[in-house]
């Protein structure tokens, strides 16, 4: 009888796990699109600034599919300053269970009211957290909600503590109380109305145990909260695990407004094309365009340092690769050109409906990436010159796509319509520039 009971319990657990894995993938059938406060405001964004970006997105980008408003790091610290983290005497805001709370000096309404405001605009609310349990909770031996007397100091280790930010300790995932701690914070976030959670210091090194705790805690809430793991580089050897655990995961460390970051991203992405699928997306990181570093981590307040052709190349790669799109600039400061990069209907259609994404080649400074529209069948082709000095002639044989003659071509950024008659498709591309085409028979 006992053996039969154990079998039934095991089968039930497997069924629940399978349902959870299936359901969480339904929350991001297309790559999530939104705004994140990090590139422009670092760890000091305010409620007023979040609302200003919310209003802008609702008015200018919501109809194009942009929907997430994400408050990035350290919303629970009272005394961070522009340009970096206060690690000498940070003043944390947390409750009696060791759960961080938003600092009222920057978020006077609290996150429940902020989420309600964002939702009222037809958008979704996200937050950033660090993995692990707060050092302050361990020092104070705070109780873990949902347990019978287990305290924070009983479930932590100093091993693998984040090297660049010492707010939290690693959680011992096999200890009683470990799952309950993650359950407690996700329960709190769900009560606020959180729709998206970016969890930092999770992917490199890859913390499989804590990712599993997070997955179970999110599923337990019953709320469709998108899980984003950060930063990169997520190990390719863990691809099978991350795709059944997270909705999106970072491939690289932070991408900033320097050309070499995009080239590095393209190189790393070569291993990840096969893992893009509805509900689970390799993540290129935030989009460092528009006005950034207002109070950010790197450099002074500025419009992006990338030249216009480099900005187009970045957006071309992010969209044909079908990365999540998280804009990093202060949206109310957008100029006409920046806004045009976020609203192009043909580009966003490709990003939303593309399938079979793959790299054709990356050699001698020339890159070609292709995908196919899942609804219309049209072929997308992006050509990049990542070289620094010379105009490159980039050639693709369209016979590979079953196209040999008499086809239509549309250049997606310019809207120019052309006709083609030869299978050999060749274009001249300036250094750091790109072109992207829709090709139909």
> Model confidence over 45-80: pLDDT tens digits?
999 999 999 999 999 999 999 999 999 999 999 999
Mean pLDDT across 244-251: 98
Average pLDDT, the chain: 94
Mean pLDDT across 152-157: 98
Mean pLDDT across 180-192: 98
Strand, coil or helix: 17: helix
Cis peptide before 231 (omega within 30 of 0): yes
Structure confidence at residue 76 (pLDDT): 98
Contacts 24+ apart (CB under 8 A), 308-313: 308/337, 309/430, 309/432, 309/433, 309/434, 310/259, 310/262, 310/432, 310/433, 311/337, 311/338, 311/341, 312/341, 312/413, 312/433, 312/434, 313/262, 313/384, 313/432, 313/433, 313/434
Mean pLDDT across 282-294: 98
C-alpha to C-alpha distances, 103 to 99, 106, 128, 164, 361, nearest whole angstrom: 12, 6, 14, 22, 49
pLDDT(11) > 50:
no
pLDDT(150) > 60:
yes
Domain boundaries, the chain: 28-343, 360-440
Structure confidence at residue 259 (pLDDT): 98
**Rounded to 10 degrees, what is the CA torsion of 206, 255, 291, 337?**
-120
| Residue (of 320, 312, 316, 317) closest to 350 by Cα position | 320
Please give the Cα distance from 40 to 22 (Å, whole number): 35
Name the pLDDT band for 4 (thresholds 50, 70, 90).
Answer: low
Instruction: Classify residue 427 as exposed, middle or buried by CB count within 10 Å of its CB (0-12, 13-18, 19+).
Output: middle
Cis peptide before 342 (omega within 30 of 0): no
In contact, 228 and 324? CB cutoff 8 Å: yes
Structure confidence at residue 18 (pLDDT): 46
pLDDT(386) > 70:
yes
Tokens coding 184 = 């407690």
Length of the chain: 441
Options 1.10.10.10, 2.60.40.1180, 1.10.3720.10, 3.40.50.300; CATH of 360-440? 2.60.40.1180
Name the pLDDT band for 319 (thresholds 50, 70, 90).
Answer: very high
In contact, 136 and 93? CB cutoff 8 Å: no
Tokens coding 28 = 């991001």
Structure confidence at residue 22 (pLDDT): 60
Residue with the larger pLDDT of the pair 317 and 84 = 317
pLDDT(252) > 50:
yes
pLDDT(273) > 90:
yes
C-alpha triplet 10, 16, 19: angle, nearest 5°: 140
* 97-111: pLDDT as tens digits: 999 999 999 999 999
434-440 β-sheet, strand order: 354-363, 366-373, 379-385, 434-440, 407-411, 417-420
Structure confidence at residue 298 (pLDDT): 86
Percent of the chain exceeding pLDDT 90 equals 92
Structure confidence at residue 20 (pLDDT): 52
Mean pLDDT across 421-425: 94
pLDDT(14) > 70:
no
28-343: CATH architecture = Alpha-Beta Barrel (3.20)
For the entire predicted model, the pTM comes to 0.94
pLDDT(5) > 80:
no
Structure confidence at residue 15 (pLDDT): 43
Measured in whole angstroms, how far is the alpha carbon of residue 25 from the centre of its chain? 15
Please give the Cα distance from 49 to 66 (Å, whole number): 18
pLDDT(152) > 70:
yes
pLDDT(284) > 60:
yes
Handedness of CA 412, 418, 424, 429 (dihedral sign): negative
């Amino acid at each position: 009888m006992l053996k039969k009971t154990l079998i039934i319990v095991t089968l039930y657990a497997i069924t629940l796990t399978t349902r959870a894995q299936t359901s969480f993938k339904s929350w991001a059938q297309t790559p999530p699109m939104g705004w994140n406060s990090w590139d422009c405001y670092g760890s000091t964004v305010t409620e007023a600034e979040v609302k200003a970006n919310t209003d802008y997105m609702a008015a200018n980008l919501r109809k194009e599919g942009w929907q997430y408003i994400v408050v990035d790091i350290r919303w629970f610290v009272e005394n961070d300053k522009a340009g970096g983290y206060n690690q000498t005497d940070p003043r944390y805001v947390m409750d009696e269970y060791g759960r961080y709370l938003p600092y009222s000096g920057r978020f006077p309404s609290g996150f429940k009211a902020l989420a309600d405001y964002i939702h009222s605009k037809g958008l979704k609310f996200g937050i950033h957290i660090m993995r692990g349990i707060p050092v302050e909770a361990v020092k104070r031996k705070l109780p873990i909600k949902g347990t019978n007397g287990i305290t924070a100091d009983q479930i932590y280790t100093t091993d693998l503590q984040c090297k660049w930010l010492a707010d939290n300790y690693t959680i011992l995932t096999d200890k009683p109380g470990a799952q309950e701690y993650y359950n407690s914070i996700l329960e709190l976030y769900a009560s606020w109305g959180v729709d998206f959670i970016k969890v930092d210091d999770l992917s490199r090194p890859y913390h499989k145990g804590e990712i599993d705790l997070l997955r179970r805690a999110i599923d337990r809430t019953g709320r469709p909260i998108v899980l984003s793991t950060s930063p990169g580089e997520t190990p390719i050897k863990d691809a099978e695990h991350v795709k059944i655990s997270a909705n999106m995961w970072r491939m690289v460390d932070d991408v900033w407004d320097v050309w070499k970051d995009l080239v590095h991203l393209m190189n790393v992405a070569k291993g990840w094309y096969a893992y893009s699928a509805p509900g689970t997306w390799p993540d290129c990181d935030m989009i460092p365009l528009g006005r950034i570093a207002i109070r950010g981590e790197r450099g002074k307040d500025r419009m992006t340092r990338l030249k216009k052709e480099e900005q187009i190349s970045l957006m071309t790669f992010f969209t044909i690769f079908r990365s999540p799109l998280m804009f990093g600039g202060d949206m109310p400061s957008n100029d006409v050109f920046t806004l045009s990069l976020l609203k192009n209907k043909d580009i966003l259609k490709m990003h939303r409906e593309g399938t079979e994404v793959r790299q054709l080649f990356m050699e001698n400074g020339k890159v070609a990436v292709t995908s196919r529209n899942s609804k219309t069948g049209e072929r997308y082709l992006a050509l990049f010159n990542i070289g620094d000095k010379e105009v490159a002639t980039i050639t693709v044989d369209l016979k590979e796509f079953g196209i040999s003659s008499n086809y239509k071509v549309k250049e997606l950024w310019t809207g120019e319509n052309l006709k083609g008659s030869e299978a050999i498709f060749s274009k001249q591309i300036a250094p750091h520039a790109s072109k992207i085409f829709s090709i139909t028979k």
